[in-house]
Structure formats: C-alpha cells, structure tokens
Chain A
Amino acid sequence: MNKADQKRLLREMIFFRRFEERCFEAYMEHKIGGFLHLYIGQEAIATGVLEMAKHKHDYVITGYRDHIHAIKAGAPAREVMAELYGKETGSSRGRGGSMHVFDPTANFMGGYALVGQPFPLAAGLALACKHKGTDQIAICFLGDGANNQGTFHETMNMASVWKLPALFVCENNQYAIGTRIDRSTAVLDQYKRMCGYNIPASQHDGEDLEVVMESAKKAIDHVRSGKGPYFLEYMTYRQRGHSMSDKTSAYRSKEEEQKWSERDPLKVYSAKLKKAGVITDEDIKKLEKEVQDEIENDVIKFAEESPIPRVEDINKYVLDDNPDPRWIGPLQNTY
C-alpha cells in the first residue's frame, strides 16, 4: 500500500473517531435522541474490511452500532449526522435514527436493533447476488453477542448449504451489553463455532488495521470466487459503554479498560505509520485539526441547518407511495 493511501486511512479513522465523539456531545446537548451506540475502539474493523470490499458495489449490513459502517460504505457523513438529528435530509429521512441508517446508493442496507436479524437479511442479499450472477457479495458485521441468536445458527446453515456469497464479520468486543462472553457463551472463540456449519473461519487482531485488511482480503477473495461464505472473527474492545445509558464500571475493571486502550486502533496504526516514516506527530495534529473543521463546518452545520420532517408526511413511506392500480385496485363495487 502506498503512503498516500496509508495516510488517507489514518485520516478516515481519525474522522470516524471524531464523528462518534461529536455524536456523544450532540447527545449530551439533546440534539440527538433515542439510543446512541458508539463505535469508538472498533474503527479498524469497518475501515479495514470495507477498504478491501468493492465500494458501493458489495452489499453491507450491520446492527445498531452502524454509523461508521454506513459512512465507510459510502453514505455521506453529513447525511448520517442529519439522520441522528432527526432531519428530513438524513440517510433515512429522519425515520430511522441512529440505529437505522440506510443508504441504498451505497448498497448500505441498514442498521438493525434486533441483534442477529442482519444475519438472514445478509444471506438474502447474497442470495440475490448469486441469483443475478453478479460478482457482488454481502458483508454482514455483527458483534459476538449476536451469535447466541437462533438466526445465527439458522443462517449459517443455509448460507453454507446454498454456498451464498456472504462474508460474516464478527466484531468480538467480548461484551453483550454488560454480560461478558464467558458468562453467556460456551465456546469463547467464535470462529470455532463455524465447524458446525462447514464454513471456513479465522480469528484475527481487530485493533490492527493492517491485519484486518490482509485477512479481509483473503476472506473476500474466497467469497467472491464463488466458494461460499466465510466467517471472520476480530478481537476488539468497545471503549465506551454499550449505549449512553450503561456505566462500564458495573461490569468491567479499570485495569481491563486500560489494557485495551493501549491497543487502541488509532494508536496502533499511527505508531506503525510513524515508525515507517509515513507520518509525523505534527502531521497527525494537522489531520486532527482538518477533521475537526470538516465535522464542524460541514457535517454538523448540515445537520443543524437541515429541515425537520413535515408532520403531514407521517404516513409517507409505510407502503409504496405510488402504487400501481392494476395490482392494488381498489376493487370497484356497484352500489
């Protein structure tokens, strides 16, 4: 990878970090409502995997911690922020919010609050790719907690039997809200669970962008070549709470948080690039400033200034807004 790309990727991760921090601030100011789940600490995974995917071509789907996956897949950051602000210009026109960002122009097919629901939806997207004979694949990002849902087992089985072009990315941050994986899950290494479905799988460091990219490339090549699904497990850590409402001190120690903060993906990648002479501390400061300005002057400004949805439009988007009378009717009676 050339230096310009390395620098771009670092800038993207700084942007993603700042985006999420800014969401936190806006939430505290009551500009963002509902539930808010931040991706801080896990950035290398969405960044690395989607860097290796075909941009706006492959399908991407995930759970409720979805802002960064959407942006990296190609959804404009300003529209994602406008969605969080509940604005008509938002990715989902203000109807979805933080947990339900959609952008079909980027083939980003949504964030879902039902843990485990994206598994079958991803397999369905993959089924469509296979059926249409395109070289697209479907990439599904979910956490380790989702793997205890029935849809995990049902979907892995069908994806394998039907050899669907689906890449399942398990972001193993070791906590299902506040329940640590060893208190909820019999098999700790998630990739080992794929033995039951005859799906190739591997486990990697999810805090090291280069490791993520390298492993994702192999997995994507496998899936795209028509060999069926692949399961990637990345070990990572959610640096913040599950959402805004939980205190991490209730379920994990300061020592553990400290240990993982040393593996912060931004720190890891910055250190690598500095060591390789690609970037200096001064460059990083400059990038941080640039990103800060972009988020304030473009992303936040757009979200703040955008109009809220019109109440008259509350019934829009429930069903097809321009239905074909040939199929819908209504049937005419004579009275």
Chain B
Amino acid sequence: MAELMYWEAIRRAHDEELANDPNVIVMGEDVGLIGGTYKATLGLFQKYGEKRVIDTPISENSYTGIGIGASMAGMRPIIEIMSINFALLALDTLINAGAKIRYMSGGRVSCPFVMRTPGGTAHQLAAQHSARLARMFMSTSGLRVVTPRSPIDAYGMLKSAVRCNDPVIVIEHERMYNMKEEMPDNEFFRPLEGAEIVRRGTDITLIGYNWSVHLCLDAAKRLEKDGISAEVIDLRSLKPLDRETIRRSVEKTHRMLVAEEDEAANGVGSEIISIVIEECFFALDAQPVRIHAADVPVPYAENLEKAAIPNVEDVYKGALKVMGRI
C-alpha cells in the first residue's frame, strides 16, 4: 500500500496503460515535455517518447477529432482537455462525431477514446475556468461519463476507460488533484458502471458525484451528531446512471437529497429526482431537496465565489429540511 495523490493515481494509470498497449497514446496541451498542467502525465514524455505522449497546439476541436480519428483505426487515445471550459471548443468532434460514429455506422466503426478533463471551481479562477458541464455530457447518447471522487477511482476507472471500447469522458476536479488515499501497489481496475454506497445509513440518502460526494460525507458526520443516520451514494457514472442503487437506498431511507456543484436546471439533481419519482415515488416520506450552484457565471471575488458554490453547510441544512427539522 502507498498513499497517492489524485494526480499521482492518474499518472500511474497512464503509465501502466502506455506500457500495456502500444496503441495507447496521450495527447493534449502541454501533456508532454512539461508533464501536464496538473502533472497527470509527468515524466511520461521522457519515458515513452513524443510519438506516444503528444503535445498539441491550442486547437481543442481538431486535436480531439484527431484522437477520435485515430481511435477509429484501432488506437486508444487518452485526450486531455486542460479545463472543461475548453471542452466546449471540442463539442463538435466530441458529440457530433465521437459519440455518434458507432451508431451512425450501424456498429461497424467504434471510437475507443478517453477524454479526461477537470471540471468544477477551484480558487477564484472566475467564470471561464470554473465550468462544470457534467449535465451536458450526461445527456449525450453514445458517451460514457464517469466522475471519480478519489485516487482509487481516478486510477482504476481511467484504466477501465482506456480498455473499454466506448468513448469515455472522465470528469476530474481541480480541487481534488492533491487529495490523498492509500492504494494497493498491485494493478487493479474499477468498473465504469455502478454507483457506490460510500457510507451506510438509515434515515436519509445523500447523493453526490465527484466533489459533491465529499460535501455529502462531511454533512453526514454532522448529521450523525444530531442523531440522523445518513447514507451517502457516489454516483460514479453519470452516464449510464445506476437506477437500482438509488432506488434501493431510497426505499430504505424514504428521504433523499442530491448535491451537485453545477447549476440546477436540467442537471444531475433533476435527473436523479426524476428517477426516484419514476422508480419509487411511494417510498418517499418527504419532498426531495436539490443542493446546487447559484444560477450565475461563477464570480471572481472570493466571497461571491463561495456564495455561488454549495458547501457542507448547505448540504447539512438541506438534509435537516428533508428531515423536517428546520
């Protein structure tokens, strides 16, 4: 066992997958010589060479398209987009091509590529570096969307993403790159599908993904002091969603809250609550609550940024509201 940071776990996954399969390549802005903005590919250019770890120009749409084209010919590219905000430039090749080619070709051409990108707010990066956008990708047929919350999932899910035959969007988080976790030294894989019950409880289900799982876990500790037993679910995969795990938990607790860092409209929370209503409406004993960002472009000023983004207090209070305590 060794303690690895989130970025180190991603780096280890890259390293092992590059070593495992000569068709794996990495491409993105500054992923090569300097090892990536978040060090996710540190030293791999030196180890595997410039043909396997490719520094691209600032041309997100076309280098994503080049990765997709290479995947159509049997390569397994890992495409890094430095910030999810820049992924908007790549939506044409990503959604119009990458997500649709398999279907449009009647299953005859697959696109086994991975796109990794950090989403979420960090520290006063302002509106053009703080987008989240998970809700946009999760509504696109033909993609898989995963949101690792920890080094273990960041490592194990990236490895699975490289090996699976579908296009996979891995949404990381700028504030999680330095998060630490004990990890086994031997190689392992984490499945791309399936939500995970990360804390067991009986009174209320708190549902999060990526960063917001940690808000839910911290809120659950506070709720425990109030005598409320909260179950926490990490969705892990936003596409496809694990309806079964959500349903079984809500049937047990009869109460639920969804926490997301994104804005609410057409979001993860809306989707999860719709699923609960469809799957087990009569199991609910209270109205569900969504915890989400303010409906504004993320502001720069520190106090405004904090006010725009949900925190542990918001989740805690939201849970109390579901419980009828406030």
Residues of A within 8 A of B (CB): 59, 61, 90-96, 100, 102-104, 109-110, 112-114, 117, 119-129, 131-132, 138, 150-151, 154-155, 157-158, 161-162, 316-321, 323-333, 335
Report the bound CA distance from A104 to B192 in whole Å: 28
The residues in B between 89 and 146 inclusive whose CB is less than 8 angstroms from any CB of A are: 92-93, 96-97, 101-110, 141-142, 144
- Do B61 and A114 touch (CB < 8 A)? no
Report the bound CA distance from A11 to B66 in whole Å: 36
- Do B104 and A123 touch (CB < 8 A)? no
- Do B57 and A158 touch (CB < 8 A)? yes
CB distance from B95 to the nearest CB of A (A): 10
Report the bound CA distance from A103 to B103 in whole Å: 13
Interface locus among B157-165, B210-218, B261-269, B306-314 = B157-165
Q: Which residue of A lies closest to B142 (CB)?
A: A318
CB distance from B48 to the nearest CB of A (A): 12
User: What residues of chain B lie closer than 8 Å to A125, measured between beta carbons?
Assistant: 69-70, 72-73
Which one of A126, A151, A162, A326 contacts B65 once the chains associate, using CB atoms below 8 Å? A151
- Do B160 and A327 touch (CB < 8 A)? yes
- Do B106 and A332 touch (CB < 8 A)? no
Q: A59-B73, A331-B193 are in contact. Are A123 and B62 (CB under 8 A)?
A: yes
| Cross-chain pairs A/B with CB under 8 angstroms, 28 sampled | A109-B73, A112-B96, A114-B97, A120-B66, A121-B69, A121-B93, A121-B97, A123-B69, A125-B69, A138-B69, A150-B61, A151-B61, A154-B63, A155-B62, A155-B65, A158-B62, A158-B66, A317-B106, A318-B141, A320-B164, A326-B191, A327-B160, A328-B164, A328-B191, A329-B192, A331-B191, A331-B242, A332-B194
User: What residues of chain B lie closer than 8 Å to A132, measured between beta carbons?
Assistant: 23, 73-74
Q: A324-B164, A328-B164, A331-B190 are in contact. Are A117 and B93 (CB under 8 A)?
A: yes
- Do B163 and A102 touch (CB < 8 A)? no
- Do A320 and B165 touch (CB < 8 A)? yes
- Do A157 and B57 touch (CB < 8 A)? yes
- Do B62 and A329 touch (CB < 8 A)? no
- Do B106 and A102 touch (CB < 8 A)? yes
Report the bound CA distance from A59 to B252 in whole Å: 55
Report the bound CA distance from A162 to B104 in whole Å: 29
Q: Does B189 interact with chain A (Cβ within 8 Å)?
A: yes
Q: A124-B70, A158-B63 are in contact. Are A104 and B109 (CB under 8 A)?
A: yes
Report the bound CA distance from A122 to B67 in whole Å: 10
Q: Does B196 interact with chain A (Cβ within 8 Å)?
A: yes
Q: Which residue of B lies closest to A159 (CB)?
A: B66
- Do A327 and B57 touch (CB < 8 A)? no
What is the number of residues of chain B that contact chain A, defined by CB distance less than 8 Å? 59
Q: Does B195 interact with chain A (Cβ within 8 Å)?
A: yes
- Do A318 and B97 touch (CB < 8 A)? no
Report the bound CA distance from A320 to B102 in whole Å: 9
Report the bound CA distance from A319 to B161 in whole Å: 13
- Do A328 and B193 touch (CB < 8 A)? yes
Q: Does B202 interact with chain A (Cβ within 8 Å)?
A: no
- Do A93 and B51 touch (CB < 8 A)? no
CB distance from B111 to the nearest CB of A (A): 10
Report the bound CA distance from A253 to B190 in whole Å: 64
User: What residues of chain A lie closer than 8 Å to B163, measured between beta carbons?
Assistant: 324, 326-327
Q: Does B203 interact with chain A (Cβ within 8 Å)?
A: no
Q: Which residue of B lies closest to A94 (CB)?
A: B106
CB distance from A60 to the nearest CB of B (A): 12
User: What residues of chain A lie closer than 8 Å to B144, measured between beta carbons?
Assistant: 319
Q: Which residue of A lies closest to B161 (CB)?
A: A327
Report the bound CA distance from A150 to B105 in whole Å: 25
- Do B106 and A120 touch (CB < 8 A)? no
- Do B194 and A151 touch (CB < 8 A)? no
Report the bound CA distance from A316 to B70 in whole Å: 23
User: What residues of chain B lie closer than 8 Å to A157, measured between beta carbons?
Assistant: 57, 59
- Do A317 and B102 touch (CB < 8 A)? yes
